[in-house]
């Protein structure tokens, strides 16, 4: 039992399984993975080396024209055509992991953190199950180059899946994000390994997609524009323009609660003596330092939002900044902690940035966000009417 990084130092193509010395044998994935590998060893020809696959991609990629054959017609082109079985297998693989899927773009980018549980990891887990079923119940690609490329991608996926399981990331209660940066240093030390696993999978996945494209097995919509009709070049520009915003949002999401948060909540329903007896004196200095840091991070978000050229997205980020600055509103209305208000606002902002990057319409706000925004608006109105 060694870490994934240690294994790959000697075996670059090594994959990983979840568990430790005591639990790995009881894992269902251990059994299913060994079963698949034994079946492949008994029925499949040895795959080509990585160098052979690279040569195959280069040779076929330069010969490929802009007008790639569609999936349905790829099987009928005589001796130069891909076997019908490979055409169908490619379609099933791409159905599980669509190149243009927003959740897959998030998984493949090691710089995106946190990762939304429902919108990303649940879909990632479902795709892994679908692909694992494909690997365990059907034969591999007949074409040796496709077989090697797909196998390399699948092994990298196994390693990434072991990092993405529920034992490494919460989600914490009331926090719909898997965000290892919120955990103690002894768990944060795995962040570089997670980034490496995401990058390794992304490279192997892209190599497979390139090879499928060279063989005419990539649907037209996966190689040009997105479902929303936004060219890939424009999407790249959108990602670049929103990098600073994402960095600011990630920093805000990683900010812990105020060191005085529990004291301030308890003091509303208990005597000072009782609170001090249980928690000690209020950490005024720590709270002041924390508040200065919080306001600086919100300021970073406001500065980054200035460079957003999309009017609707910029207005949304300005609104989110107002919510973050006016956390007293939800606190006075419903005793909603600042950390929860921040989580709700940041979650909506990140979701909106993700949609913008994918060329999709901005999402509708959640009921929690609407309720929080209403509390903020009421607080601001009361403050303005008070004459202070």
Question: What per-residue confidence (pLDDT) applies to 367?
Answer: 87
Give pLDDT tens digits for 133-189.
999 888 889 988 889 999 999 999 998 988 777 555 555 556 676 766 666 777 677
Q: Tell me the pTM.
A: 0.45
Q: Report which of residues 261 and 379 the model is more confident about.
A: 379
Tell me the sheet residues that pair with 177. Answer: 116
Question: What per-residue confidence (pLDDT) applies to 92?
Answer: 93
Give pLDDT tens digits for 267-298.
777 888 888 888 889 889 999 999 999 999 99
The C-alpha atoms of residue 186 and residue 341 are separated, in whole angstroms, by: 28
Instruction: Name the burial class of residue 94, with classes exposed (0-12), middle (13-18) and buried (19+) by CB atoms within 10 angstroms of its CB.
Output: buried
Tell me the sheet residues that pair with 115. Answer: 178
CA-based nearest residue to 349, from 383, 318, 384, 307: 318
Q: In the chain, what are the helix, strand and coil shares in percent, each to the nearest 5? A: 70, 0, 30
Instruction: Name the burial class of residue 215, with classes exposed (0-12), middle (13-18) and buried (19+) by CB atoms within 10 angstroms of its CB.
Output: buried
Is the sign of the CA dihedral 352, 357, 358, 361 positive or negative? positive
DSSP assignment letter at 205: H
pLDDT exceeds 60 at position 386 = yes
pLDDT exceeds 60 at position 203 = yes
Instruction: Name the burial class of residue 284, with classes exposed (0-12), middle (13-18) and buried (19+) by CB atoms within 10 angstroms of its CB.
Output: exposed
The C-alpha atoms of residue 249 and residue 243 are separated, in whole angstroms, by: 10
Question: What per-residue confidence (pLDDT) applies to 66?
Answer: 35
Instruction: Report the range of poorest mean pLDDT among 11-15, 70-74, 80-84, 251-255.
Output: 70-74
DSSP assignment letter at 73: G
The C-alpha atoms of residue 205 and residue 239 are separated, in whole angstroms, by: 20
pLDDT confidence band for 260 (50 / 70 / 90):
confident
Helix (H) or strand (E) holding 115: strand 115-116
The C-alpha atoms of residue 116 and residue 187 are separated, in whole angstroms, by: 19
Question: What per-residue confidence (pLDDT) applies to 61?
Answer: 38
The arithmetic mean of pLDDT across residues 75-80, rounded, is 38
Question: What per-residue confidence (pLDDT) applies to 39?
Answer: 65
């Amino acid at each position: 039992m060694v870490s994934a990084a240690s294994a790959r130092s000697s075996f670059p193509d090594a994959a990983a399984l979840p568990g430790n010395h005591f639990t790995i044998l009881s894992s269902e994935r251990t059994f299913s993975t060994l079963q698949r590998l034994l079946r492949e060893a008994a029925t499949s020809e040895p795959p080509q080396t990585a160098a052979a696959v690279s040569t195959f991609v280069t040779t076929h990629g330069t010969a490929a024209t802009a007008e790639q054959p569609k999936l349905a017609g790829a099987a009928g082109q005589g001796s130069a055509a891909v076997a019908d079985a490979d055409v169908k297998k490619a379609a099933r693989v791409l159905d599980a992991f669509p190149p243009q899927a927003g959740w897959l773009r998030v998984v493949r980018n090691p710089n995106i953190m946190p990762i939304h549980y429902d919108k990303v990891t649940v879909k990632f887990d479902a795709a892994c199950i679908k692909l694992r079923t494909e690997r365990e119940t059907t034969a591999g690609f007949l074409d040796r180059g496709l077989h090697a490329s797909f196998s390399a991608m699948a092994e990298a996926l196994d390693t990434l899946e072991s990092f993405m399981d529920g034992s490494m990331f919460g989600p914490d209660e009331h926090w719909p994000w898997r965000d290892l940066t919120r955990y103690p240093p002894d768990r944060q030390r795995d962040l570089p390994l997670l980034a490496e696993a995401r990058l390794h999978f992304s490279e192997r996945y892209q190599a497979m997609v390139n090879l499928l494209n060279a063989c005419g097995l990539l649907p037209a919509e996966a190689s040009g524009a997105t479902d929303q009709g936004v060219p890939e070049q424009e999407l790249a520009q959108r990602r670049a323009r929103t990098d600073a915003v994402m960095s600011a949002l990630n920093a805000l999401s990683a900010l812990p609660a105020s060191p005085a948060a529990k004291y301030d909540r308890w003091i509303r329903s208990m005597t000072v003596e009782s609170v001090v007896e249980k928690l000690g004196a209020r950490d005024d200095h720590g709270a002041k330092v924390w508040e200065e840091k919080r306001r600086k991070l919100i300021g970073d978000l406001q500065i980054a939002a200035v460079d957003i050229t999309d009017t609707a997205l910029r207005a949304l980020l300005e609104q989110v900044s107002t919510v973050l600055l006016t956390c007293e509103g939800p606190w006075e209305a419903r005793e909603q902690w600042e950390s929860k208000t921040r989580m709700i606002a940041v979650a909506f902002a990140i979701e909106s940035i993700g949609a913008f990057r994918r060329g999709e319409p901005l999402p509708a706000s959640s009921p929690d966000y609407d309720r929080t925004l209403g509390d903020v608006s009421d607080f601001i109105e009361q403050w303005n009417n008070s004459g202070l």
